[in-house]
Amino acid sequence: MSELRVFNLPDVGEGLTEAEILRWHVRPGDAVAVNDMVVEIETAKASVELPCPYAGTVAELHVVEGAIVPVGSPIITIETAALPAVGGGERQAVLVGYGVRADVPVARRARRPADGVAGSNREGASTGRSRAKPLVRKLARDLGVDLAAISASGPNGEVTREDVLSASGGSAVAVAAPAPAHTPTPTTAPATVAGERIPVRGVQRAMADAMVQSAFTAPHVTEWVDVDMARAMEVLAKLREHPSSADVRISPMILVAAALVRAAVEQPIINSTWVDAPDGAHVVLHRDVNLGIAADTPRGLLVPCIKGASALGVVDLARAVQDLIDTARAGRATPADLTGGTITLTNIGVFGIDGGTPILNPGQTAILAMGRILDRPWVVDGHVVVRPVMQLSLSFDHRVIDGASGSRALRSVADFLADPALALVVEAVDR
């Protein structure tokens, strides 16, 4: 007689609440013996392998690799050949932090109605004192919330911090512990309301860390300019018809990228890094322009980078960008692809957005955001005409780049796009 036995994720480290499934060592249909290592998990404390508690055949893996699951969740089901006779039948594991099986009702005892408190199953009810931890009591006092009036969601009828916050109706941010004024601690709002919980990890975690680091170390300034893209679109049309670009898609972003690379060569200060060294802070002007292109991938925002972009013509640049973004979207970007950028271009126009205040990538001093290209009224020679217009937003590190240099750089990009042919001619003449 066979039986399905479910193995729930245990608390392997004294009070853990969740773990990430790193790698399964078995697949459905595989035979397993007791204590065979079936899965590798990572908790906040350690990476460990879990030995299988049952012998039999793997019937189902409930969780995919990379998923973060709460302690107590079913992770694997084993079809056992025969139920081992354990004295007294199987006992439900109910250790601290170890969830009971999700598919069975949890043993629960109802409290006999106490004086005047009908049907309450909360321990505190009979004494008139709500159960809550001291910090939660203080929070309730600070917010003027009556603990006794709150419905408790915590274990054993305990009033939780979240209960107090939702009862107060106030936002979590408003009551979060104040950070010292001089430390720009990104105050985190406690998860106050019920809702989907999305774990922050991997690429997203890396992005969050990078953005926090950058936003709180480099003082940013952002400038905007609108550009008439009519001539740029004409050049683009011609380029697309040219045989050299037969195998590659040339988008407006390529022209913006070319313009930015050009500006970085003209104004090396926007292609630089601020360095805090023991012998004093200094700025490194990079010899090469390594252009990072922010790409929206299924794994989150990635910024693969094109090394030596200033040496590439427009078509070659288009080819490099296409390869890089394809690689990143496929999840095959190597660490080398993702590091070493000296300046960044982000295309927010693809989301139907005009402008914004992009945050610098750590180690860089400038980032350009291009908006959507939209037909707008534009004044040409005293007449209102319809022109394809795009907004550019340039954020730069004001420790390194003063307003004049930043403005010149943004103007240079805008001028190129306003008349690419003229810019190329002028460039040729200058050389």
Partner 1 sequence: MSDGSRVASAVQLLSPEGERVPHGRYEITLRDSELRELYRDMVLVRRLDTEATALQRQGELGLWASSLGQEAAQVGSARCLRPTDFAFPTYRDHGVTWSRGVQPLEILAMFRGVTNGGWDPIERGCAIYTIVIGNQALHAAGYAMGVHLDGSDDAVIAYFGDGATDEGDVNEAFVFGSVFNAPVVFFCQNNQWAISQPRERRNPGLIHERAAGFGFPGVLVDGNDILAVMAVTREALERARSGGGPTLVEAYTYRMAAHTTSDDPTRYRHAEELEIWRLRDPIERLKVFLARQGIADRHYFDQIDHEANELAVFVRDGVRAMVEPSAGSMFDHVYAESHPLLDEQRRRLRDYEASFVEELSP
49 binds partner 1 (CB under 8 A): yes
Among 4, 46, 330, 425, contact with partner 1 (rule: CB under 8 A): 46
Minimum Å distance from CB 128 to partner 1? 15
Cα–Cα distances in Å, from 306 out to 206, 256, 269, 296, 345? 20, 14, 19, 16, 11
Contact region for partner 1 (CB under 8 A) — 5-13, 161-169, 309-317, 379-387?
5-13
**Two tokens at 375?**
């037909």
DSSP letter at 317 equals H
**Of 40-48, 55-63, 323-331, 398-406, which segment contacts partner 1 by CB under 8 A?**
40-48
Q: Report, in Å, the least distance between residue 63 CB and partner 1.
A: 16
How many residues contact partner 1, by CB under 8 A? 42
Tokens at residue 112, please? 């006999």
User: In the complex with partner 1, which residue's Cβ is closer, 63 or 413?
Assistant: 63
Closest CA to 154 of 166, 146, 162, 165: 162
- What is the contact mask toward partner 1 in residues 86 to 125, using x (rule: CB under 8 A)? xxx-xxxxxxxxx-x---xxxxxxxxx-x-----------
Question: What's the distance, CA 106 to chain centroid?
Answer: 36
Q: Which stretch binds partner 1 (CB under 8 A): 6-14, 73-81, 219-227, 297-305?
A: 6-14
Rounded to whole angstroms, the Cα distance separating 90 from 85 reads: 9
Both tokens of residue 357?
Answer: 């205040």
173 binds partner 1 (CB under 8 A): no
Distance CA 140, CA 120 (A): 21
CA 322 – CA 183 distance, rounded (Å) = 41
- The size of the chain, in residues, is 431
C-beta closer to partner 1: residue 34 or 189: 34
- Pick 58 or 360: Cβ nearer partner 1: 58
Of the two residues 9 and 359, which places its CB atom closer to partner 1 in the complex? 9
Q: What does each C-alpha distance from 366 to 317, 360, 372, 393, 418 come to in angstroms? A: 20, 6, 20, 10, 21
The rounded distance, in Å, linking the Cα atoms of 341 and 220 is: 18
CB of 7 to partner 1, least distance (A): 7
CA–CA separation, 217 and 213 (whole Å):
6
Single out the residue of 31, 33, 34, 148 in contact with partner 1 (rule: CB under 8 A).
34
Select 74 or 406, whichever has its Cβ closest to partner 1: 74
Encoded tokens for 259: 């313009």
Residue with smaller CB distance to partner 1, 13 or 170: 13
Closest approach, Cβ 350 to partner 1, in A, equals 41
Select the span of 9-17, 128-136, 154-162, 263-271 touching partner 1 (CB under 8 A): 9-17
Residues involved in catalysis: 398
Output the CA–CA distances (angstroms, integers) from residue 36 to 57, 58, 79, in the order listed: 12, 12, 15
Name the one range near partner 1 by CB under 8 A: 81-89, 199-207, 294-302, 400-408.
81-89
Specify the residue, 108 or 383, whose C-beta has the smaller distance to partner 1.
Answer: 108
Q: Considering only residues 22, 25, 53, 240, which one is a binding residue for partner 1 as defined by CB under 8 A?
A: 53
Q: Which residues contact 414 (CB under 8 A, 6 or more apart)?
A: 225, 227, 392
**Binding residue (CB under 8 A) for partner 1 from 126, 222, 405, 407:** 126
> Using the rule CB under 8 A, is 70 a contact of partner 1?
no
Bridge partners, residue 235, by sequence: none
Nearer to partner 1, 98 or 224 (CB): 98
Closest approach of partner 1 to the CB of residue 155, in Å? 16
Q: Which residue has the tokens 């003027």?
A: 144
Shortest Cβ 56–partner 1 spacing (Å): 15
Provide the token pair at 92. Answer: 């439900």
Question: Interface with partner 1 by CB under 8 A: which range of 82-90, 132-140, 270-278, 367-375?
Answer: 82-90
* Strands 305-306 and 37-42, sheet pairing: unpaired
Counting Cα atoms < 13 Å in the Cβ hemisphere of 404 gives 0
Q: Does 50 bind partner 1 (CB under 8 A)?
A: yes
56 touches partner 1 (CB under 8 A): no
Is 151 a binding residue for partner 1 by CB under 8 A? The answer is: no
Which of 34, 407, 349 shows the shortest CA–CA distance to 224? 407
**Which amino acid appears at position 11 of this protein?**
D
Q: Is 7 in the site for partner 1 (CB under 8 A)?
A: yes
Per DSSP, the residues of 357-405 read -PPPPTT-SEEEEEEEEEEEEEEETTEEEEEEEEEEEEEEETTT--HHH
Query: Please, which residue, 46 or 200, has the CB nearer to partner 1?
Result: 46
Binding site for partner 1 (CB under 8 A): 7-8, 10-14, 34-35, 45-51, 53, 84, 86-88, 90-98, 100, 104-112, 114, 126
